[in-house]
C-alpha cells in the first residue's frame, strides 16, 4: 500500500487561487496524483465549515478523478477557515470514516484536526497537531493535546494496527532540525513537546523514517516560507511523520520526503508498507 501525507497550507488556495504559489501547489498535487497513492492525507486545508464548495469539488474531480474524498473542517466555536483535514482514497476502498473528539482543550476538538479511516485490518489516521504558538502561549494546551492524542492512538491500536500521519509540529531529535542550538525555546522543539512525542513512540509506535534511514542528518519536511533562504540553504525541520504500530514496523518498505522544488513550507511524505 502506498500512502502520502501533506500539510498543504491551504487546499482552498490551491484549488481556487491564481497566485504563483497556488500554481506551484497545484503542480505538487498533480505530481502526487501521478505517484498513484492508495490514500492521500491533507492537513491545514482551510476549507469552509460547510466543506468543499462546488468549485473545490470540481477541481478535486479534475485532479483526482479516481478518488473519493472526505473532509473535516474547523467550525464554531473554533475559527472558520482554519486548520482542517481531508483524505482522498481510491474508489472502491470504502473505509469507515470517523471524526473523533479526544477531549482536548477547547476549541481544539472543533478545529478539524483528526480524521480516521477504518479498514478491515488496520486504521489510517491523520493529525494536524496544534502549534504551541508565538511565545509558547499554547504550550500548556499543547501538552494536554499530546496526552489526549496519545490515548486516542492507544485505543485504536488495541483493536487493529495503526498508520498515523500528519504534521505533528515536533522535531523530536536534534538531528531533526538544522539549528537545534538556537531553538530549545521555540515552538516545536521545546523539551515538553519533544517529551510528548517520545511518550507517543514509547506507547507502541514507530517513526518509519528513522526505521528505514537510521540517524541520517539533513533531511527535513518543513522550511519557513517567510525566510527566503531557508529552502535554498536546507535550513529546515522534520515535523511531519508516518508512524505505525510497532507490530507493522518490519513491513515498512519505504518512508521518505517528496521534493517540491522551490516551494517552501511543508513537503509531502511517502509511506509504502506491506499490509
Mean pLDDT, 10 residues at a time, the chain of 275 residues? 98 95 96 98 97 96 98 95 97 97 97 98 98 96 98 98 98 97 95 98 98 98 93 96 98 98 96 97
44 in Cβ contact with 81 (< 8 Å): no
**pLDDT number for residue 22:** 95
Q: Which three cell numbers stand for residue 221?
A: 519536511
Question: Out of 82, 123, 128, 149, which one is annotated catalytic?
Answer: 128
**pLDDT number for residue 226:** 87
Q: Which three cell numbers stand for residue 162?
A: 495503526
Q: Which three cell numbers stand for residue 107?
A: 476549541
Strand partners, 89: 39, 68
d(CA 211, CA 245): 12
Strand partners, 5: 41, 269
Evaluate if pTM is beyond 0.85.
yes
**pLDDT number for residue 136:** 97
Parallel, antiparallel or unpaired: strands 39-43 and 85-90: antiparallel
d(CA 42, CA 11): 8
Q: Do you find a cis peptide bond into 168, omega within 30 degrees of 0?
A: no
The answer to whether residue 36 is catalytic is: no
The answer to whether residue 128 is catalytic is: yes
Question: Out of 9, 109, 146, 167, which one is annotated catalytic?
Answer: 167
Q: Which three cell numbers stand for residue 64?
A: 483526482
**pLDDT number for residue 258:** 98
**pLDDT number for residue 36:** 98
d(CA 144, CA 2): 32
* The length of the chain, given as a count of residues: 275
d(CA 197, CA 172): 7
Amino acid at each position: 500500500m502506498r500512502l502520502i501525507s501533506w500539510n498543504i497550507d491551504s487546499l482552498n488556495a490551491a484549488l481556487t487561487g491564481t497566485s504563483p504559489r497556488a500554481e506551484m501547489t497545484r503542480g505538487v498535487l498533480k505530481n502526487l496524483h501521478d505517484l498513484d497513492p492508495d490514500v492521500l492525507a491533507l492537513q491545514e486545508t482551510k476549507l469552509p465549515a460547510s466543506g468543499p464548495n462546488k468549485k473545490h469539488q470540481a477541481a478535486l474531480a479534475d485532479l483526482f478523478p479516481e478518488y473519493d474524498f472526505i473532509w473535516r473542517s474547523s467550525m464554531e466555536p473554533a475559527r472558520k477557515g482554519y486548520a482542517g483535514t481531508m483524505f482522498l482514497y481510491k474508489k472502491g476502498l470504502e473505509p469507515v470514516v470517523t471524526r473523533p473528539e479526544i477531549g482536548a482543550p477547547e476549541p481544539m476538538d472543533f478545529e478539524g484536526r483528526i480524521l480516521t479511516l477504518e479498514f478491515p485490518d488496520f486504521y489510517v489516521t491523520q493529525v494536524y497537531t496544534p502549534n504551541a504558538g508565538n511565545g509558547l502561549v499554547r504550550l500548556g494546551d499543547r501538552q494536554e493535546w499530546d496526552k489526549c492524542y496519545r490515548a486516542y492512538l492507544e485505543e485504536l491500536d488495541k483493536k487493529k494496527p495503526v498508520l498515523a500521519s500528519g504534521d505533528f509540529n515536533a522535531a523530536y531529535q536534534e538531528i531533526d532540525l538544522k539549528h537545534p542550538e538556537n531553538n530549545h525555546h521555540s515552538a516545536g522543539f521545546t523539551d515538553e513537546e519533544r517529551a510528548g512525542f517520545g511518550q507517543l513512540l514509547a506507547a507502541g509506535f514507530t517513526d518509519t523514517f528513522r526505521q528505514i534511514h537510521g540517524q541520517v542528518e539533513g533531511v527535513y519536511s518543513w522550511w519557513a516560507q517567510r525566510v527566503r533562504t531557508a529552502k535554498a540553504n536546507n535550513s529546515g525541520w522534520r515535523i511531519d511523520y508516518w508512524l505505525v504500530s510497532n507490530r507493522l514496523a518490519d513491513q515498512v518498505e519505504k518512508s521518505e520526503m517528496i521534493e517540491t522544488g522551490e516551494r517552501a513550507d511543508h513537503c509531502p511524505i511517502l509511506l509504502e508498507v506491506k499490509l
